[in-house]
Structure 1
Amino acid sequence: MTKTFTITVFTEDQTGLLSRVVGIFNRRNLSISSLTTSASSDESIFRFTIVVKVTEEMVIKLVAQLDKQVDVLKAFYYDDDDIVYQEIALYKVPIEVFTNGRNVEVMIRRHNARVLLIEPEYVVIEKTGHEYETEALLTELRQEGLYEFVRSGRVAVVKPMERLNSYLQELQEEGE
């Protein structure tokens, strides 16, 4: 049975590593739903957050393959119950949708979104939340008028203490 998993990959910041990481998914003909890269809690370590919909057997194989990469320190996988996650979405709408009544203003409040920028021709709205939440606002804004839309990949933190710290501590103790 397939389900959504979030894979975190901790690496050194090396050129070409993104291509190698994505290549592991390509070779297995798997689609990546979301891919986000960033710094981690340790400034010398880089973090990939990858969302895939696969079986648990497949995610175990993926994590094992990722762990074998030279510049990968460690990879972990989680299901949605083990993490806290969000996405950010930006919507550019015509300024006219605000001057034609209060519909959009009420909609923004109902969706807990906020206005980031007001220009003579358009307004930029920001919404953070899960994909279904950003998608719900998108559906409503399309009915009012929409110039542009973009959504980030998933950002996530693990509910239990970060396993990378424990792993690095174990490595350090083994080396002593």
Structure 2
Amino acid sequence: MGDGEKRTVFVTGGTTCFDALVQAVDSERVKEALLQKGYTHLLIQMGRGTYAPSKVTGNSTLQVDYFTFSPSIADYIREASLVISHAGSGSIFETLRLSKPLIVVVNEDLMDNHQSELAEELAERKHLFCARPQTLQETIQAMDLTTLQPYVPGDAKPVVTLINKFLGFPGE
């Protein structure tokens, strides 16, 4: 990493309110962990949340900015060196499709949280790291990006062939 190289962490809370995530990334402990990993910028998409992060950081040099919504977050993900995301499947798979390192933070306030199952399964397969708001700092400190495995979407052709056969359509 050369001096002055911009390394951005993009945080997305989705379209709902996930203030616990925004508060976690806004903490001095998490910002310090990001700095120690060599990140220079923190850009937070906070959705409907009401907690406004501080653009001023203690003794750090981490540049912080935030916004509520954008028509598309794909460009922010594309430009990021690391993505920290809520556990929504759209954000997860868009980030994985763009081959960006990802920490998924599970919102424990959601009832019937199927999102945590998806995040934990993908973490077990080494496609991403999984955290809770209160464990985010430790996850950042412990993460080794070289251990991540690329996500390769499944091939739908065998399923299509089986459905076509079941429906009586001729095979190829």
RCO (CA 8 Å, sep 6+): is it higher in 1 or 2? 1
TM-score with structure 2 length normalisation? Answer: 0.25
Greater share of strand: 1
TM-score with structure 1 length normalisation? Answer: 0.24
